[in-house]
Chain A
């Protein structure tokens, strides 16, 4: 398992559209993707669970990827979040 802590920098946080971008990309990896936020574990491949977690701008989250392509999955997740999750 690989992990990384990162700050959410896009203004909307994990709302509908940014979260959709995130899960669509994560679906391409076979590894499990988890986000730890406020002490709870959220499935990073589930749009509904991500929206329910209410992860906002400025939140500090831990990414946990576990599986065959965990390194690549983590790198992609970090890249997406730090580039603002496709927000214009």
Chain B
């Protein structure tokens, strides 16, 4: 069995079709007519631009616009007049042929990009490689590999898929894809997911081991490739493949549906996201809103604080992606395990109990006001569905101060006040939930931190990991307390920790009266299905029993028994 990266889910069984990389070779020959050679180069550049634009047009329709944009970028790079004149110079001065001139100049840029000190520029080196290969093929006269006429049941085995190879790929004939290179964000991965073809990437030595025409199983769920499987394996994987498709079909049936319990009580399934682009994923995976947008990404991997306009654009973008839907944005949660160098946070012995999140923000009011102003402006610009969530609140005093800041900014700017709520994740906030509720428009429970604070067990320390358990009756009692306090005050209560997507906990959360479950985009449909399986009466019965249990292991055991 070969191992690789599970880049596109599903199981494919078929026959290997090896696609070997094309050899791009040419002879260095002296140039007879300099102008003729330059014309040849310019002709090839024109041809490149024409073909690449065609390719981008096709990809816009068949794969996705983002991929097409990358390809359009190749046109822009190739159209750099200065670069082409550098190639001309080599033909004129060094008497190089067009191929050698193009290769020399593109290699030079490739090396410059590769040695750059930032990641974005280094990534562009891959584009330069791709451009070089395609331009040379045009000059030499090698046809691009085209995968449009594969026999049915083909398992493509290749070094790496390039956009030009796949633009006309017929997905009906491709059972699976195996490559030797590429990760989760490579072209091969994006393409196979968009076309829903099972794929395992970065399989070392795939081209050597898997022979043309041999039978192969590709398990894109676990990242495994089985060469020449036995009859038993074939049967086993065929079944697993059918089950996977059946599960997917069942989940598909929940797309576009309202989230309701079996007896018709309305709930909502939102998404947790980490950057504006994830908003698109949340929308595509049928999230009914965003329950947690972490803003840290905007502040990380840079040398200074992002400006107000940059933040405004990022916040507005998410709201615009999900028009009319609630988008809950958490203000900066710096500190704890999240370090941002330019903020000059001092190393602490106990960072999780230290200077983090709202504690930092209220001491650095200038930058906090900037973030709040960007949020307030984005709320107004995007139609008023942006909610501000304050993390790590331990005292009502903190939420009162934040609300005062928001009020001041709204008065200065003459803008409406967005809904403002607390992320409940400290034991103090839990004990004071009834008081906090008076000052908040909503609650969202962050179970990851809440669990570690209630149990006083560092979630990163394996020696105390046994204590870190959301099934612990102490944590369940806290959840009940928080949700009851919110309901008492008439404000909505959601949950944005991992517990919200745990099928075993869903009946308990239904019984407590949780309204909004915020989960990772890939868990939306599963969570909606799980909620639909329970009536409130059934959930109450189970919860009644659970709340009388004494330990986490008893709770887990019982929930496993009654799980649907």
Residues of A bordering B, CB below 8 Å: 11-12, 15-16, 20, 23, 27, 43, 45-49, 51-52, 54, 56-58, 88
Contacts and interface: CB of A to CB of B under 8 A. Distances in A.
A24 to B, nearest CB: 9
Q: Give the dominant DSSP class at A's interface.
A: loop
A52 to B, nearest CB: 4
Given A11-B310, A46-B82, A51 B121 contact: yes
B302 interface: yes
Nearest to A45: B82
Contact of B121 (A20, A52, A57): A52
Main secondary structure of the interface of B (DSSP, over half): helix
B149 interface: no
Interface stretch (B109-117, B191-199, B408-416, B420-428): B109-117
B306 A58 contact: no
Given A57-B303, A58-B304, A51 B124 contact: yes
Given A15-B121, A16-B73, A54-B116, A48 B303 contact: no
B117 A54 contact: yes
Given A11-B302, A11-B306, A11-B310, A48 B77 contact: yes
Interface of B: 73, 76-77, 79-83, 109, 112-113, 116-118, 120-121, 124, 302-304, 306-307, 310, 313
A27 B113 CA distance: 23
Contacts of B80: 23, 46-49
A47 B113 CA distance: 12
A34 B77 CA distance: 19
B76 A56 contact: no
Contacts of A20: 76
Given A52-B116, A88-B313, 14 more contacts: A11-B306, A15-B120, A16-B73, A16-B124, A45-B81, A46-B81, A46-B83, A47-B83, A48-B82, A48-B109, A52-B112, A56-B118, A58-B303, A58-B304
Contacts of B113: 51-52
Nearest to B113: A52
Nearest to A50: B80
Contacts of A43: 82
A47 B76 CA distance: 8
27 contacts: A11-B307, A11-B310, A16-B73, A16-B76, A16-B120, A27-B81, A43-B82, A45-B82, A46-B80, A47-B77, A47-B79, A47-B83, A48-B80, A48-B82, A48-B83, A49-B80, A49-B82, A52-B109, A52-B112, A52-B113, A52-B116, A52-B121, A54-B116, A54-B118, A54-B121, A56-B118, A57-B303
Nearest to B85: A46
A48 B107 CA distance: 12
A15 B77 CA distance: 12
Contacts of A45: 81-82
Nearest to A16: B73
Contacts of A49: 80, 82-83
A43 B306 CA distance: 29
Contacts of A12: 120
Nearest to A23: B80
B449 to A, nearest CB: 30
Nearest to A44: B82
A54 B73 CA distance: 17
A12 B71 CA distance: 20
B77 to A, nearest CB: 6
Contacts of B303: 57-58
Contacts of B313: 88
Nearest to A54: B116
B82 A57 contact: no
User: Counting chain A CB atoms within 10 Å of each CB, which of B121, B303, B306 scores highest?
Assistant: B121
A12 B82 CA distance: 23
Contacts of B310: 11
The listed residue with most B CB atoms (<10 A of its CB), out of A12, A15, A16, A49, is A16
Contacts of A54: 116-118, 121
Contacts of A58: 303-304
Contacts of A46: 80-83
A33 B112 CA distance: 21
Please provide the 10 A-B residue pairs with the shortest distance between their CB atoms, ordered closest to farther.
A46-B82, A52-B112, A47-B80, A54-B116, A48-B83, A48-B80, A48-B109, A43-B82, A20-B76, A54-B121
